[in-house]
Chain A
Amino acid sequence: MIRLLIPLLLAIGQTAQEPAIDSASMVIEKSSGQTASHDTGVTAEQSSEQGIGETAEHATNQATGHTAGPTAGHGEESAPPPELPNIIEIIHLKYKNRLTDFLFAWRLVIFSSIVWLVLGFMAFIVFRKRTLIPGPLQNFLEWVVEMLSNMVVSILGDEGRRYVPFVGTLFMYIFCMNIMGLIPGFFSSTSKLNTTLALALCVFLYVQFTGIRNFGPLGYIYHLAGSPKSVVEWCLVWLNFPLHIIGELAKPLSLSLRLFGNIAGEDMLLAIFVILGVSVMSFMHLPIGLPLHLPFIFLALLTSFVQALVFALLATIYFSLMSHHEEESH
């Protein structure tokens, strides 16, 4: 548990004190970290703006310098992990003013808002013009809803139908955010701990609320104490109670860290292979690269789907642990 807490605390500290400009220059800065030693006269900001101006070629030259020594980085202070540039970042690098600063600081929210706006708009259109014989979009949405509903009901039973909207929304929202990282110019909000932690906290609070609603306040504490019945079990309450509380607190932690780690790792992998693909073609001085990341896009699709599914499934499991009929599932 403590081992789990340390990275979380580290992450919170890191995201809290992360200066906007510092992470703004992510890809370019990172690759220019090596070349900065060549042209010491140029400040970091200038070089990063230059890099954005002539994206591929400049990045290529830097990337080749980067690949020359694979262990070159260890002497300097650690660079942030590679990441593909997104629209807001590029705009922020090109035009620095208060508006773009604001946009950049809120980029996670903006990109996730795009997802829910699109999803909501789609649902709104279909709901406005719903017909008995569904059109393609309505058919698709009905299929998605039915699949999610079946998934939840197969775990929770028929009374779990009330959790279908929550779990289904979680699944669609997370899945769309995950695959957003594959669209050029966008990035997945779930590759930052802030988003995933917020989602996991939502699940955590709702699960605890469900527990209190199902068992009542006293019954909830009784449930946390391990539902003791015999004398031996009552004697072990002092051991069971803290364990259950730690177990409950570990749920949002593991949910958020799992999603964050998977998606961040997947995006990083893509970025590394894009950089490799560009640097391989750098001798031609053309703004193109080899699509070396192509196989990993399919891997990323799979990861995106599985992680969204796992998040939704685990939320469902937590609901089932907090309902009456599954006392044996501890």
Chain B
Amino acid sequence: MDPKTAVGFLLPLAVGVAALGSGLGLGRAVGAAMEAMGRQPEAAGKIQTAMIIGAAFIEALTIYALVAVILIK
């Protein structure tokens, strides 16, 4: 396998691995937020804001991988 093939093969895989991690993290975060909202519906607004910020941080990791892949390609 020449280097270019290896890169073409591995770069999408890298995004996939990053997305796997983010997906697990997002699942936990959103699940916990939903549970909290269910327990305290009156605090739903605040929880949602915090959840979106956290989700953005988690999601950013995948986006970094995506940006790196786009730039390295």
* Chain A residues in the interface with B (C-beta under 8 A): 4, 6-7, 10-11, 14, 71, 73-75, 78, 81, 151, 154-155, 254, 257-258, 260-262, 264-265, 306, 309-310, 313-314, 317
Contacts and interface: CB of A to CB of B under 8 A. Distances in A.
Contacts of B30: none
B39 interface: no
Interface residues of B, number: 20
A7 B68 contact: yes
Nearest to B67: A261
Contacts of B63: 257-258, 261-262, 265
A299 B52 CA distance: 16
A154 B49 contact: yes
Contacts of A260: 67
B45 A310 contact: no
Interface in B42-67: 45-46, 49, 52-53, 56, 59-60, 63-64, 66-67
A131 B41 CA distance: 36
Nearest to A310: B56
Given A74-B8, A154-B46, A314 B67 contact: no
Given A154-B46, A258-B60, A78 B71 contact: no
A78 B8 CA distance: 10
B43 to A, nearest CB: 11
Nearest to B53: A313
A279 to B, nearest CB: 20
A257 B60 contact: yes
Most buried by A among B63, B72, B73: B63
Contacts of B52: 306, 309-310, 313
Given A7-B64, A78-B73, A258-B63, 5 more contacts: A74-B8, A257-B63, A264-B67, A265-B63, A310-B56
B40 interface: no
A54 B73 CA distance: 30
Most buried by A among B59, B66, B67: B67
A6 B65 CA distance: 12
Contact of A155 (B4, B49, B64): B49
26 contacts: A4-B64, A7-B67, A7-B68, A7-B72, A10-B71, A11-B67, A14-B71, A74-B5, A74-B8, A75-B4, A151-B49, A154-B46, A254-B60, A257-B60, A257-B63, A257-B67, A258-B59, A258-B63, A261-B63, A261-B64, A261-B67, A264-B70, A313-B52, A313-B53, A313-B56, A317-B53
Nearest to A9: B71
Given A257-B64, A265-B63, A310 B71 contact: no
The 6 closest A-B CB pairs, nearest first, are A261-B63, A310-B56, A74-B8, A261-B67, A10-B71, A258-B60
A155 B52 CA distance: 13
Nearest to A311: B56
Contact of B56 (A11, A14, A258, A264): A258
